[in-house]
Chain A
Amino acid sequence: VQLVESGGGLVKPGGSLRLSCAASGFTFSSYSINWVRQAPGKGLEWVSCISATGNYIYYADSVKGRFTISRDNAKNSLDLLMNSLRPEDTAVYYCARSHQVVGLGGFDPWGQGTLVTVSS
């Protein structure tokens, strides 16, 4: 079971960035997937969740209206489109699978993370 994030980098405030998460080793279409971020030296902050079929999507208030989560079950992939980026969005972004097929559950496993830096 593996999750691999990509797409991080340096972006100016107000800019956009698309993160991707490639999954392997499990039936991707059976699990909800989450994005969780961690600002430098800070704790974990949940960002967004998408259900197995994509019918249910949830966002943290801090990113609602700016970030969009999506998934392609045919390609075993997950995206996070981030618009109107702010310096406080600077963080390592992890994708994390629900630990169980039914319900929201905990997060297991996690990817290795991708760093997003928002700075002029």
Chain B
Amino acid sequence: SYVLTQPPSVSVAPGQTATITCGGNNIGGEGVHWYQQKPGQAPVMVVYDDGDRPSGIPERFSGSSSGNTATLTISRVEAGDEADYYCQVWDTSSDHAAVFGGGTKLTVL
């Protein structure tokens, strides 16, 4: 089965740029989606199809994907960005199954 690998934690100071990676075999050929989840809340999509933003998501959130790595970049990080972030793709190699990365806890110092 397809596996997505994320770092468990990333720390960044306010105003700086946070980079969260998501590794997977040839992930650059998939459509990668990213979600933000704050404690006690449902996840919210912040990036879809590698690098597009849903309406209402700040331009500070951006994404890219190439080769075996997808990246979520959060510019000018704010305290309110502290959350868990998950990447997700669809594995259609055999039966169809959605796959999530293990999640990355973003801490704003």
Q: List residues of A whose CB falls within 8 A of some B CB.
A: 34, 36, 43-46, 49, 56, 58, 60-61, 94, 96, 99-100, 104-113
Contacts and interface: CB of A to CB of B under 8 A. Distances in A.
A107 B97 contact: no
Given A108-B48, A110-B42, A43 B88 contact: no
Interface of B: 1, 31, 33, 35, 37, 42-45, 48-49, 54, 84, 86, 88, 90, 92, 95-103
Contact of B43 (A45, A60, A104, A107): A107
Nearest to B90: A104
Contacts, number: 71
24 contacts: A36-B43, A36-B98, A43-B86, A44-B37, A44-B43, A44-B86, A44-B88, A44-B103, A45-B100, A46-B98, A46-B99, A56-B96, A58-B95, A58-B96, A58-B97, A94-B43, A100-B48, A104-B90, A105-B31, A106-B45, A108-B45, A109-B44, A111-B42, A112-B42
